[in-house]
Each structure stands twice: as structure tokens, then as C-alpha cells.
Amino acid sequence: MHENDQEAARRITADLAYFADAGPRWCAYMASKALLIAPARLAFEAEMPGMDARLRTNIATLLGAGFAALHGRVPTTDEVVAEVAEFAATTAEHAEEVSRDDSLEALHHLLAHPIGDSSLGQWIARERRDWIEKNARDESPSARILASLDITMSVFGNEPGFFLARGAPGINKIFERTKWEQGGWMHAIRKYEGAFSPVNPIYFSNIKSKARAIGVRFDILPDPTEAPIEPIEPKGDIKLPKGTPDF
């Protein structure tokens, strides 16, 4: 805590002794300043545009409450600007964490979507396994599920990964009534450290044309749990499992 600095250690010890005695008075003082926190938070939020709303509120609350506790009043605009600048590096670190968390949360929501007896992540993993073992075929359940959602993959190319067509109706449907609806999932997933933008448009069999896509490396996929599909001739129509978006 004091990194072996004897002066810092003495100050910490003295402060702890003071608060051990002054605890009730300190709590009463802090409670008396509680009504200052809301206007102080708003003052800080006004000077912190262009960042995630939740992060802005959290950081502004911390800075506003700290200022109110130390000074017993709401900060002036100049004081807010100075403190926002002073803590910019710390705020940026937290912003990176929020960005990573949001992208992973969005991807987990997508991959956990239930389809039939499994999750979308499992169907993607199975399709990749079939490509690696040279058993992939267009009529397999995994291939048809992914095609219906405008998801494809490249296992052996220069950009290995699975690809999500931008604005894909099926993926949009999976994200309905979430914070990533109306295309918000594209912005979130692009921030994932394993995501990339393919150099060229990607061909999607469902729309029979090429389209811009978001690539995601295979690292995030689970291990496939179902036995590999045997390369046999299909008989009759294969129905898509329950859970595949219908649009």
C-alpha cells in the first residue's frame, strides 16, 4: 500500500488512527453532503462527451462525489475541466475494459442463441470441424443453419474465421430486445480483439451475392460436441432445427 515508503507508512497509520476515532463524525459529514453529489455528477457528465453512457455516469459519479466530499460544494466549470483532464488516463483505461466487455457480451449472446438441440456457437464449431475433416457439404444441418443466418466461414484461406454479413436479418432478429438491437451488434462485435474486417466482400449463399462482413477468429468457439457428419447422400428435405430465425 505504501511501497516501503516510511513517510507514507506513517501518514497512513496516522490517518487510520484519526478515522478510527472520528468515524461517526465523518459519516455524518459525508451524509450531510449527499445532496451535492447529483449536481456534481451532472457537472462532470457535461464535460465528458463521446464515451459510453454507462461509463460516463460511473466516472462522473466518482469524481463528483469525491469533489463534494473534499470541498463541500459543487465544482465550477473550470474545476470540472481540470479534474476531467487529470483523470483522463484512468478514464481511458476503464473505457477499454467497457469496450472489451461489451463486445464479448454481444458475441456470447449470439453464440449462445439456442437452435435445435444446441447453440449457434456449437453449429459454427461443427461446421468448422467438418471443413477441417473434409466432410463439409451444403446439405448438412450446420451448413443450412449458418446459410440461413448469413454466416459463412473460411477455414483454409488467408483470413481464417467465420463471417457475419453486416445487417443480416437473421442476426438482427437474434439481437431483438437487447441493447445491441437495430444493428448495434455490428458496432459491438467489431470492437472484439479477435474481430477483423475482410479485405474483400464475402460471398453468402443465402443472398447469392457478396456483401461486406465482420470476421471473427475461431478462437472464441467452443469445442464441437457432436460426432462428425458422415459424407452420405442426403435423402429428402432437411428441416432447420427449432430456434433458427424465421423471416
For residues 218-237, give the mean pLDDT. Answer: 64
Quote the CA–CA distance of 162 and 227 in Å, as a whole number: 21
Q: What angle do CA 40, 44, 46 make, to 5 degrees?
A: 115
Tens digit of pLDDT for each residue in 102-135? Answer: 888 899 999 999 998 899 999 999 999 999 987 7
Centroid of chain to Cα 2: 35
Between the alpha carbon of residue 27 and those of residues 22, 23, 31, 53, 199, the distances in Å are 9, 6, 6, 30, 59
Task: Specify the pLDDT at position 231.
Answer: 43
Tens digit of pLDDT for each residue in 16-30? Answer: 888 777 778 878 888
For residues 74-79, give the mean pLDDT. Answer: 93
Quote the CA–CA distance of 150 and 165 in Å, as a whole number: 6
In the sheet where 195-196 sits, what is the strand order?
A: 151-154, 161-165, 213-216, 195-196
Task: Specify the pLDDT at position 244.
Answer: 59
Cell output for 198: 475482410
Whether the per-residue pLDDT at 2 is higher than 70: the answer is: no
Between the alpha carbon of residue 5 and those of residues 9, 14, 143, the distances in Å are 6, 14, 63
Tens digit of pLDDT for each residue in 217-226? Answer: 999 999 998 7
Task: Specify the pLDDT at position 140.
Answer: 86
In contact, 93 and 66? CB cutoff 8 Å? no
* Domain boundaries, given as residue ranges, for the chain: 6-101, 102-220
Q: Is 14 helix (H, G, I), strand (E, B) or coil?
A: helix
Per-residue confidence band for 215, with pLDDT thresholds at 50, 70 and 90? very high
Whether the per-residue pLDDT at 11 is higher than 90: the answer is: no
Whether the per-residue pLDDT at 98 is higher than 70: the answer is: no
Tens digit of pLDDT for each residue in 150-202? Answer: 999 999 889 999 999 999 999 999 999 998 999 999 999 998 989 999 999 99
Task: Specify the pLDDT at position 148.
Answer: 95
